[in-house]
Structure 1
Amino acid sequence: MKKKKNPAPRAAGILGVGLDNDDGHKRITTGEKFVLVGGSAETHGRMTETVVKTFEELKARGKELHQVEPRELADIVHKSTPA
């Protein structure tokens, strides 16, 4: 029986899209594993804070984005979203 090789890590990233922009300003924030586009100044700020806290939580858990299941990531994002 052939021994399976370790699969390559899955590519993973977060895309945030804000749809409530009415001032015509184009907001784009990028990071190594995320892209945030659009939204009002408030929405874009909340998306940015959420993604930063999400990656901090992943680091605290000793995990990379590609290592978490969608449900776990959803829980982390929910926990990381400012009130």
Structure 2
Amino acid sequence: MNQKVKSLKQTAQNKTWVSFLHQNHPYSLLHWSIGGTESVQKDVWLLQDEMTFETKEFDKLESAIVWISENMNDITDVL
């Protein structure tokens, strides 16, 4: 796991969300515990593309970090 991904994981663990750039494209990784218009209880991590608002859902932070490290190897900034 490279240093940027480690920083991303540590920030997400401490703040429950983190924003970062992948190929100069903004993303956010955030913990979501309540969702929907009827306050449906959820316990997931969302990876959100901040330009299109598309999301990918993960059951655990570790699953999200593994996916990011395998699919987003050009992280330039952790915000």
TM-score range with shorter-chain normalisation? under 0.3
Tell me which of the two structures has the higher relative contact order, counting C-alpha pairs closer than 8 angstroms and 6 or more residues apart: 2
Give 1 or 2 for the bigger CA radius of gyration. Answer: 1
Instruction: Name the structure with the higher strand share.
Output: 2
Q: Could you tell me the TM-score, scaled by structure 1's length?
A: 0.26
User: If the length of structure 2 is used for normalisation, what is the TM-score?
Assistant: 0.27
Structure with the largest fraction of helix: 1
